[in-house]
Structure 1
Amino acid sequence: MSDLFSLSFPNFNLKIKKQDGTTFTMSYHDFVDHILLLREVINHPEMTQQGEVLENFIKDYCGKMARQEMKFRHQQLKLPWQIDWIWHVHRLHPLAYYNDCCKQLPDGEPVDQKVQKCPTNYSKQYEATPPNLSTNCDMNFVPSIDLVQAVLRQCDFLDKFKKHVLYSWDLKKMNIFLFRQLMRNYALFMQLAQPNDIIVPTFDIDLIWHTHLRYPQHYRAFSIAVCGFVLNHDDSIETNILTNAFQKTADRWKKAYKSHMLQDVDKKILQTSQYVSFHGMDLTSTYNETCEGTTSGCELNDGGDCGLNGGDGGVSSCGGEGASSCGGGSSCGGGGCGGGCGGD
């Protein structure tokens, strides 16, 4: 993790602990890294438009993956934000990404996120068109999804993000209690997942979900621990199906947690809910204040102009994939991701 990143933003390390002792740690710095990337993409519309620029960066991404130039911390520190964006979109499809890596990379292992980008360096990496493209970069690593179409589908998510308070919010002033609630709602959402079913998040939950998907191994381990299988993320489902699935998700949420999906869940309900106690999840936090002005908070208004659900960017269909070997649309290890989910 960059020293400048650490000094610029407060960090909240939230631990989600199950009754069996399994603990997963998630970091506010991971969330900041994601938000900064989204802002950068919005400022460069060529990265969400079909054309030569986008296609060149996708080819460059495939080449770097094939040559294993993204595997280690020192390599990821040098990645331009454009490649990080293409990589991000690929990781939004966790089953496809996992299988692509297992089946096509020389070591048969998924490439995991090791670092967070220094925000001041985000726009100083590449020109609009990447140089030194490999002539065979798309021959050895061919994603099973159409990355051009996957990027284009993110336009709706980005449009909603532009209407969200976090698009312009000073991330140095995030309130620890607000971030804790975001994480709690995400964990509660994940617990509602059922095999061969579709669940649709609110936009706030979807922001956290997308952040978590940036750390593939940690996400897989967390999903198996909470859901019993790897919960897939599918942004290609039709709008009418999304609308119906969101209502069913909201009904399931109300039944399990005795509250509206857009409201915070009462802690007393969590203590008495059979559904939650079955998964035995307790969320605690540690806070390291590294800059001034970190106690101010903001109020998130999920829905409204953003739309109640996460739209094309936040829907899941789960096929009940359990833990097994690489290459089967299933899972392998993971574990905790303290701080920046990183290290070589």
Structure 2
Amino acid sequence: MEMEQEREWAEAQKIVVSVDLVDAAKRQLQFLAAVDRNRFLYEGPVLQRAIYRYNVCWLPLMAKHSESPICEEPLVVPLDCEWIWHCHRLNPVQYKSDCETLFGRILDNSNALSSVEEVSKRQTGEIWNAMYPEEPYELDLTDALLDISREFPQCEKVTKYDLVSAVKRQSSFFYQVSRPHMSDDIFLQEAVARYKGFLHLIRRNKERSIKRFCVPTYDIDLIWHSHQLYPMSYCKDLSNIMGKILEHDDMDSDRAKGKKLDVGFSETTQQWEDTYGCRYWRAGAMYRGSSPFPVSESPCPFKVLGKELGLLYQCKKLVQLSKVKVVEVVLEFVAVKNLPEGHKGSLFVTFSKKEPDMFFNSKRKLSIFSESGEKQVAYFQCEPSGELHFELTYQSRSNILITKPFKAIGSTDLSLQEFFAPISKLSAERWLELVPSSATMSSRPIFLCVAVSFTTPTPAPQVLHMVRSCPFSKSSCVSPLFGNIQHAKSWTRVIDELGNDVISLQMRYLNKERIKGDLASRKEVIGITESGETHILAEFVGDEWYIKGTCGSFWLQKKSGNDSHLFELISNKMVRLFHGRRLEYESKHCEKRRSDRDFVTAVEFSAEHPYGRGAALFDLRSGIFEVKDDWLVLLGITLAFILSDILRKEGYNGFSVKGVDLRERSNMIKKEKDKKSTTSGAVKREMAVNAEAKRAGCGNSQSPGCGEEGGSGCGQSAKSGGCGSCGGGGCGSGCGNIVESGGCGGCGGGCGGGCGNMVKCGGCGSCGSGCGNHLPCGNETTVGVSSEATEAVAAA
């Protein structure tokens, strides 16, 4: 930062807030999760009843208690009333006006506790029942036919504020902030500092009579909400900071280019970076897109298996998988200085992981803001270790039209160790000295300004591949397992992302026997672990599969009729299987080109997730299995294997990609391992993934099917945008992982639709439409693109 920018940031950090905002944010996240488990509160009769109870019961009770305490302990607000109270307080000016009009003072929460805190509700319940004998203290939120016609003597004292609309606006907020890093202390502490910086910008605008609609990122917005939930403190603090209570205008939600929210976010970004000299966009704090479509409109009653289990399995961890963590990264190249003479032209920085990992294993490139005048921001995931490698390249103006390759000027590295061992700070902006290339002559050291931010590390999902092996032959050196096998099936090997064997599976058909007068075939799924141990993983009992899992055993029951799910697994947990990509695995962008019938989503239902949580995804065509939790790994492996057998009648013939055996993927990885043992496992995986991508019509860099003029599909480099390379004029649709080209045509021309994971243009260069992944969406703009938050503030 320059000295003036440092002074501005220091001035912002002097802002005094009388609330522990880190603790308040954690409490808010806990409460919002409880509300999300009771989605009847979002709309319909239950919402109407909650608003009624809030107006005629809770507010009068709070007013009476604040005037003269009616009990020694704080009141505990019922969940439904707390939700309406929450949404009311998020319009602080309206809330203050309503309280003063109805009760003569602001009703604060200093003498009230949240319903989700572990405290006794007995005393509050007794007071409530005495005051409102006909109204239960805790409402049955599953009753969709609640009677809201009864009235109370105080019913004339109600707010005129449209609480139904307020709830509707806030019901989507939890999805945006419900990720693990949002509750991390370091992330929240930095969010508090950024919130103070946000308030300082608005204060500066007020002092200079600048009218600007300032739009927060979601980390700032979470802290802002947390502050407003303490109305007395918020009013006092904001009056001290800027002489008035700051309005929280959440009415605008249209993120289209040129609309109020889009313009406000771009202007806020520009002002922030000019004022503080650091980047406004933050990893893990940007818009995630709309909430996934639910698999059920009503909560699923969690049930435990009631019938006697026919087999008893001891819980034993049969597969050993490495624990891998992942972080999200937002990267921007801000400026370069001391550039040698004769190197003017198109400047880019190629960036990669010095030791590629399973999440980030390719080279990508971005322009430099100070040289191009266009903001380009890269979003990606990687493991929180190793080094990011940057190489500054240029192409002279005389070579642009004849597409000569870029020449290297110099390179430098940024170690991730300083951020994550231990975790200290989640963002940095610094000048890095380049090591000049052999062809670069410079009398002064060249520096590159790099801005980067991270989320805190979170456990990465396990991704496994099922590879069908050839059936045994007489000459095979491996014998079939012992037992009365009627006919041997081929083996299916399960390998991890690095090509390491996890377990091998086989379906055994035993002697046919009569069950209840019918001729039936007994089947088993057997597995051989890496150590050579043999285990029975599942048995076909009657007309159901009985499957062993790490956390217990499950019955797999097929569903029919009007049920939306295909199968159900029940035991001490309940898992339902749905066709297609559901919930967190919902199709986005280029993935929509794949048919939903190629996928099955395993959805876990529990008291914590009554509406379901995407726990695993099976790609039936490729044999790829992604799972989030350890308890589901062995169960999921067995289940995916059984599903392949069950669904084979629908046209699936084992695990293959367009007829190509995935054994090829494994062999490719193994060959590369023998060829160069020092090469990291992630590079080997990249070779396999690239081979599969070419078969599927997607390419890296400039491979056919994507990234060239007239193509379609998806790509992973700066020139791939579905169709039309950067500067080209192709048309089509698709998506690119780099900012320059979102859908087609790149940045130079062409039109169509698509999406970009990085941000310069979301649709297609200069014209088109599309959407960005995790970052704002839109077409080419000077300082960013579409708005990033549902909440905004208009500063007078």
Mapping 1:1-344, distance limit 5 Å = 18=14, 24-49=18-43, 51-69=44-62, 71-72=65-66, 77-105=75-103, 108-114=104-110, 115-117=112-114, 118-120=116-118, 125-128=138-141, 135-136=151-152, 139-162=155-178, 164-166=179-181, 174-175=184-185, 177-193=186-202, 194-195=205-206, 196-239=211-254, 240-263=259-282, 300=455, 305=774, 311-312=789-790, 314-319=791-796
Structure 1 residue 155 displacement after superposition: 2.8
Q: Letter of the aligned partner of 2:151 in structure 1?
A: T
What is the CA-CA distance between 1:40 and the residue it aligns to? 1.0
CA distance in 1, matches of 2:157, 2:23: 30
Letter in 2 for 1:300: T
C-alpha distance in structure 1 between counterparts of 2:17 and 2:247, whole Å: 21
Give the 3 Å change call, closer, same or farther, for CA 258–95 of structure 1 in structure 2.
same
Amino acid at match of 1:245: G
Identical aligned pairs, as a percentage?
23
Q: Which amino acid aligns with 1:153?
A: R
1:95 is displaced (CA, Å) by 0.5
The alpha-carbon distance between structure 1 residues 26 and 304, as it changes in their structure 2 partners (threshold 3 A), is farther
What is the CA distance between 1:88 and its match in structure 2?
Answer: 0.6
What secondary structure, in the 3-state scheme, does the structure 2 residue paired with 1:29 have? helix
In structure 2, the residue corresponding to 1:119 is in which secondary structure? coil
Worse-matched range after superposition: 210-219 or 134-143: 134-143
Q: Is the 8 A contact 1:30 1:116 kept in 2?
A: no
AA aligned to 1:305 is H
Shift of 1:198: 1.6
Cα pair distance change 1:127/1:156, threshold 3 Å: same
Shift of 1:260: 1.2
Greater Rg over alpha carbons, structure: 2
Query: How far does residue 154 in structure 1 lie from its aligned partner after superposition?
Result: 1.4
Quick one: distance in 2 between partners of 1:212 and 1:86? 17
Tell me the CA shift for residue 262 of structure 1.
Answer: 2.3
* Matched-pair contact (CA < 8 Å) for 2:266–2:787: no
1:149, CA displacement in angstroms? 0.9
Task: Tell me, in whole angstroms, the C-alpha distance in 2 between the residues paired with 1:116 and 1:304.
Answer: 38
Contact 2:32–2:174 (CA<8 Å) still a contact in 1?
yes
Distance 1:23 1:83, change over 3 A: closer
Q: Distance in 2 between matches of 1:103 and 1:197?
A: 30
Quick one: which amino acid aligns to residue 60 of structure 2? R
Q: Indicate conservation of the 8 Å contact 1:202/1:310, yes or no.
A: yes
Q: Report the Cα distance in structure 2 between the residues aligned to 1:133 and 1:29, rounded to whole angstroms.
A: 39
Change (3 A) 1:53 1:218: same
**Paired letter, 1:61:** Y
Structure 1 pair 65–42 and aligned structure 2 pair: CA distance change class (3 A): closer
Kept in 1, the 8 Å contact 2:21–2:227? The answer is no
CA-CA distance at 1:45 after TM superposition: 1.3
Structure 2 counterpart of 1:251, one-letter code: Q
1:189-222 CA-partner distances (Å, limit 9, x unpaired) = 1111134532110011101111111001111122
Instruction: State how far apart, in whole Å, the 1-side matches of 2:140 and 2:789 are.
Output: 31
**Counterpart amino acid of residue 250 in structure 1:** T
CA contact (8 A) 1:202 1:262 kept: yes
Structure richer in strand, relative to its length: 2
Change (3 A) 1:23 1:260: closer
Structure 1 residues 124-160: Cα deviation after superposition (integer angstroms, max 9, x where no partner): 9432168999613773333232000110111332332
Q: Quick one: structure 1 residues 24 and 121, their matched pair in 2 at CA, closer, same or farther if it must change by over 3 Å?
A: closer
TM-superposed deviation, 1:76: 5.5
User: Residue 32 of structure 1: CA displacement?
Assistant: 1.8
SS in 1 for 2:35: helix
Name the CA shift for 1:311/1:144 in 2 (closer, same or farther; >3 Å). Answer: farther
- Are the aligned partners of 2:188 and 2:219 in contact in 1 as well (CA < 8 Å)? no
TM-score (norm: length of structure 1): 0.65
Q: 1:140 is aligned with what amino acid?
A: E
Kindly state the Cα deviation for residue 103 of structure 1 after the two structures are TM-superposed: 1.1
Q: Distance in 2 between matches of 1:34 and 1:133?
A: 32
- Secondary structure, counterpart of 1:139 in structure 2: helix
Contact kept in structure 1, 2:54 and 2:84, CA below 8 Å: yes
* Structure 2: gaps (5+ residues): 1-11, 122-136, 284-421, 427-453, 457-771, 777-785
Which stretches in structure 1 are left out of the alignment for 5+ residues?
1-15, 265-294, 320-344
Q: Give deviations 1:36-87, integer Å, cap 9, x for gaps.
A: 11111111111112x1100000010011355243654868632112211110
Supply the distance in 1 between the matched residues of 2:181 and 2:147 (Cα, whole angstroms): 33
What TM-score do you get using the length of structure 2 for normalisation? 0.30
Tell me the amino acid that sits aligned with residue 52 of structure 1.
P
In structure 2, give the amino acid aligned to 1:213.
Q
Query: How many matched pairs?
Result: 260
Classify the secondary structure of the residue corresponding to 1:221. helix
Cα gap change, 1:131 to 1:40, in 2 (>3 Å): farther
CA distance in 1, matches of 2:246, 2:787: 18
**Structure 1 residues 243 and 83, CA gap change in structure 2 (3 angstroms):** same
Q: Distance between the aligned counterparts of 1:306 and 1:77, measured in 2? A: 42
| CA gap 1:26/1:55 in 2 versus in 1, 3 angstroms | same
Q: Is the 8 A contact 1:224 1:230 kept in 2?
A: yes
Structure-2 separation of matches of 1:121 and 1:166 = 27
For residues 249-291 of structure 1, give each alpha carbon's deviation from its aligned partner in whole angstroms, at most 9, with x where no partner exists.
Answer: 1111111101111259xxxxxxxxxxxxxxxxxxxxxxxxxxx
